A and B are shown apart, each in its own frame.
Chain A
């Protein structure tokens, strides 16, 4: 597994061409500025040149969430996802599937996910499962794994392996 990316947009570094980035913003200004930075080559990180895709979710800072696809092909989820933005995040995840090189969802940096958040992830797993025999969810916390089980997702999604 590659390097973990987390934190605010200003702190996430090391992205490269072809990466798929999604992040939360609290004001339109921030959206524009951050988007400009990444789309024009990045003053925070010289490598941050996002070629093909940028998604953003408007949220409060404390529920900030973003996602990106790394050079290893995994889709990386970062931040917190709860019922308030699960639907939006579900759309973004679905759109990221086409860019994913590997059927891997890396949730190591996902600080929090509630039942609605897991539902968004489930939709992505199903999407990935149409192209791949097995989908791996890596870096799950014990709470994530327990919730996965409590919601019977291990039975409903036998194609997904959570580790």
Chain B
């Protein structure tokens, strides 16, 4: 295993619980011995397994259940950032992280979390942390396992080795797209915005009501529409178009502009460096919505996102 001072991001392939524990218990213990911090996000069963195997050392490791941790990629990135900052403030020079990503069961969620795995390399490129992501060879689909080779600089099977298929995050995020939330039927609202978002917000609140979103979700929808439309007005050329659909399970919203297009595929994945600077619109949107897809072309950018009830 050895020592590391810089950022490491490994995919650990395992088939059985024994293999899982045999790799991760020494990994965590070695860190603790060196005075490093340790945090683990995984399934309930794997938390129980690691606690058992770690024995007395388990009290020095922070455990998080995957259900609460892997909800939206931006929230997970912000969450890891908080842990790392907290540990740094507590005097830890280095942190060991185990993150067993909850990939979900659809092509859409697979794409979402594969993009997350790739974006981690950009978000934490210089962090003093070693993140190991366990992948179950028996339960994960072929596609997810193949992509793990492309999203982790290091692969860990029996031994650690550099992944010869690793792809730069910007390239991977340009290649694997987030599937856009589906809509059918006529939109409930379609309008062209040239300036001033106050009236737009009033309409969006009404749509939120109509879709029976809880009051705080409707207000978050209003915030996200406002942020994305503000982006479009600032960076696009001329007015932008806003379209909203009320679905059975909530609201889908689309904002399109005719600007040059958004050219940073990592936008929305990188935490704010210092205070609330501009360009935070997508970061905010990624936190509050339930799904979000961007189509950027030469003739403009379209952002489509959903808010579920």
Contacts and interface: CB of A to CB of B under 8 A. Distances in A.
A112 B218 CA distance: 12
Contacts of A118: 276
SS of A interface (majority): helix
A40 interface: no
Nearest to B283: A150
Classify chain B's interface size.
20 to 34
Q: Most chain-A Cβ atoms within 10 A of its Cβ — which of B202, B223, B276, B288?
A: B276
Interface stretch (A14-22, A30-38, A45-53, A76-84): A76-84
B257 to A, nearest CB: 15
Given A115-B284, A119-B276, A143 B198 contact: no
Contacts of A142: 216, 219
B271 interface: yes
Nearest to A119: B276
A82 B34 CA distance: 48
A16 to B, nearest CB: 29
B201 A80 contact: yes
Interface string B17-51: 00000000000000000000000000000000000
Contact of B198 (A80, A115, A152, A156): A80
A63 B230 CA distance: 14
A155 B197 contact: no
Main secondary structure of the interface of B (DSSP, over half): helix
Nearest to B280: A115
Interface residues of A, number: 28
B235 to A, nearest CB: 12
Contact of A114 (B223, B283, B287): B223
Contacts of A119: 275-277
B222 interface: yes
A63 B195 CA distance: 11
Given A62-B199, A142-B216, A146-B287, 20 more contacts: A60-B199, A62-B201, A63-B197, A80-B201, A84-B230, A112-B201, A112-B222, A112-B223, A112-B226, A114-B226, A115-B280, A116-B276, A116-B278, A119-B277, A146-B288, A150-B283, A150-B287, A150-B288, A152-B272, A152-B275
Interface of B: 78, 82, 85, 195-199, 201-202, 216, 219-220, 222-223, 226-227, 230, 234, 271-272, 274-278, 280-281, 283-284, 287-288
The 3 lowest CB-CB distance pairs between A and B, nearest first, are A62-B198, A63-B198, A151-B276
